[in-house]
Amino acid sequence: MVSLSSLLSKHVSHLARHQYDVIVVGGGHAGTEAGAAAARVGAETLLVTQKIHTIGALSCNPSLGGVGKGQLVKEVDALDGLCGRAGDWAGIHFSILNRRKGPAVWGPRAQLDRQRYREFIQSELLSTPRLTVLEGSVEELLITEPNPEEPGHHRVTGIRLANGSHSISARSVVLTTGTFLSGSLFVGQTTSPGGRIGDAPSSAGLSHMMREKLGLRIGRLRTGTPPRIVKDSVDLSLAKLHPPDSHPTPFSFLNTHTRCKPEEQLPCHLTFTTPGVERVVRESLHLNCHIQQDTKGPRYCPSIESRVLRFPGRNHQVWLEPEGVTSDLLYPQGLSMTMPPDMQLRLIREIPPMHRAEIHMPGYGVQYDFVCPTQLSPALQVKSTQGLFLAGQINGTTGYEEAAAQGLWAGVNAARWALSMPTVALSRTESYIGVLIDDLVSRGVTEPYRMFTSRAEFRTHLRPDNADLRLTLKGFEEVGCVSSLRHQETLRVRNSLQDALTALQALTLSTANWKKKLPGIPISETKSTLMTGIDLLQYSDVTFEMLASAFPESLSPYVKFSQRLKIEAVYKPHCDLNKKEIERIQREENMSLPQDIDYFSLPVSLSQEVREILDKVRPSTLGAATRLEGITPAAVVNLLNYVRITEKNKETHRNQQPQKEREEELCANSASLPQ
């Protein structure tokens, strides 16, 4: 990595210009991916953050990936994002979750060294061409009249920094404010403004402006973090040891190994709460204003107070996770809490391994504003404000991975908008990022949104192993955010896999001959049909290495892809069955619904309830409309007919153009062609 000190002095000394293509506000997981992606697309980009030294900080848990989340990390990496490579650099405990299930729902995960992760992200960002980083706090957005040729009521033209500082112009702005948008911190009965302990509160101007000037619907969510425990004060012999995988699996498709060697990895430990924990929670409820409020918190990562109140009498899991190779702290995953610090100490000492534990920093809660995401397009652009994009917790999500995925896509589209290129969308049929964004903009959120594999209809196709084949080529050829180096590597891998599958398909033998080649394989004697190598690889007891040993001339060149080929073979029948359904959804998603359509006067048979839903959400495509709660199948059919008739009328109108107009148009098009 490049020296951070030299990079910092280069980027922080002064602002070299006051006009940028893209401005990104925020230096968290969404902001860093947005800034890097915008710059990769070719936009002159400015990232504004309160403290450069906190860029890439892991505000809560020191980990990356997991079930559903690991798929997002792999996809961000496939699109040349940062977090996968950062995870490989900073990881100190790698594991694949869900191994007992099929590879489609495996969850790549890693415990991270906080300092290493932050250093990697900062080094990458500060050495990215066309990207400048500035310390500062944004007071408000600069807004003007919209471009009449584009949908929207406003147009963003830049930002104004706090404390009366100067304005900075840009064609597009990405807001990635995390928990800092009108954030409030809670510990016991104490409340203070802020989005993270140790950082200054953000300006309240942004939230006010979005609500009052832009007319956006704003909601309120909450989250929390556990106390940090002094490692030497914990008796880990009283907890269950959980070692990492013996062979770490990298997140990034560019990496064949992780920085941390297998033998250098650190273990995690598992313990459980006791009845004493529940007693302390109940005794402290009257001292805990955060837990008493109605603001929605994360369902899938709740505080210990919420877990005890929701599931009384249970012993809840607590994972004791290392925070770094040289760190003297432990992170007690599962013990997020907001009670007073003295009660927190009482609570953790009710858990056997921590009966003498000391707290380095108490847990706390955060409440913050978010923008209802149904007001966004699939490009993550605010529908009513041209050039304004949102990503991360401001859209109602929770988690590093969800933030990074949104940040990358918002950064891509902000850059394309600024450079007068059309914005792009990802389908839920081709990526978990597409599922995430479609869920947000089509359905909205009532609680912090977390990704799960169950949210994806085509998860046997959207696997962690094939994210590069699904997204990297598109990222290079259509989106413009992928380097030629990664593109060439993906082409090499794709061609090798195709050659290997062709070779496997060409190996066609009778069951009797297969049994001769591979004795002991449980192939039914009653099978009379011929079987290919792909058919045989679908058997759980058959590995690609076994086939390569039997047919070395045709298969041995592809042994390095053995696991990927095995997975491809296993899921081939499922993917073949899904193909027609995927094509249907993609056709629906290609049918656009005009953003200025008046649903209340639309000459189509729709109930008043359906019209109200469509008017409120304003789905961008027919496919998005089909997934709205309350939209009936009959309404979908009527909308489909309307779209088809409208497109047919447009085509008829084009065909009825006067001959002279068509000739002039043809001449104009010909004149633009190279001679």
CA dist., res. 238 & res. 189, Å (int): 33
Please list the ranges in the chain whose pLDDT falls under 70: 1-16, 164, 203, 293-298, 300, 650-651, 653-675
CA dist., res. 300 & res. 411, Å (int): 28
Output b/e per residue, 101-127; b: 16+ Cβ within 10 A.
eebbbbbbbbbbbbbbbbbbbbbbbbb
CA 408 to centroid of chain Cα atoms: 8
User: How far lies 446's CA from each of 120, 216, 370, 404, in Å?
Assistant: 35, 16, 11, 21
CA dist., res. 79 & res. 255, Å (int): 15
Q: Please state the φ and ψ torsions of residue 197, each to the nearest 5 degrees.
A: -60, 135
Helix locations, 590-621, DSSP H: 608-617
Beta bridge partners of 23: 46, 173
In contact, 452 and 70? CB cutoff 8 Å:
no
CA dist., res. 284 & res. 60, Å (int): 23
Identity at 596, one-letter amino acid code: D
Of 354, 453, 441, the closest CA to residue 397 belongs to: 441
CA dist., res. 392 & res. 371, Å (int): 10
Residue 337, sorted as left (phi over 0), alpha (psi -120 to 50) or beta, turns out to be beta
CA dist., res. 270 & res. 238, Å (int): 9
In contact, 571 and 104? CB cutoff 8 Å:
yes
Per-residue confidence (pLDDT) for residue 551, from 0 to 100: 95
User: How far lies 176's CA from each of 272, 365, 612, 667, in Å?
Assistant: 36, 20, 30, 46
Cα dihedral across residues 546, 552, 555, 558: positive or negative: positive
Structure tokens at 152: 């929207």
Cα dihedral across residues 36, 37, 40, 44: positive or negative: negative
User: How far lies 483's CA from each of 30, 80, 120, 494, in Å?
Assistant: 20, 7, 19, 16
Per-residue confidence (pLDDT) for residue 670, from 0 to 100: 42
Map tokens 């679908």 to a residue: 538
CA dist., res. 585 & res. 626, Å (int): 10
In contact, 268 and 245? CB cutoff 8 Å:
no
Q: HEC states along 225-270?
A: ECCEEEHHHCCHHHCEEECCCCCCCCCCCCCCCCCCCHHHCCCEEE
- Collapsed DSSP state (helix, strand, coil) of residue 498: helix
Per-residue confidence (pLDDT) for residue 662, from 0 to 100: 54
Beta strands in 304-399 (DSSP E): 317-322, 329-333, 359-361, 364-371, 385-386, 388-390
Each residue's pLDDT tens digit, 363-405: 999 999 999 999 999 999 999 999 999 999 999 999 999 999 9
Per-residue confidence (pLDDT) for residue 366, from 0 to 100: 93
Domains identified in the chain and CATH numbers: 16-225+367-478 (3.50.50.60), 228-363 (2.40.30.260), 485-581 (1.10.10), 608-665 (1.10.150.570)
In contact, 60 and 225? CB cutoff 8 Å:
yes
Of 178, 146, 131, 174, the closest CA to residue 413 belongs to: 174
In contact, 168 and 158? CB cutoff 8 Å:
yes
- Collapsed DSSP state (helix, strand, coil) of residue 40: helix
Cα dihedral across residues 638, 640, 644, 646: positive or negative: positive
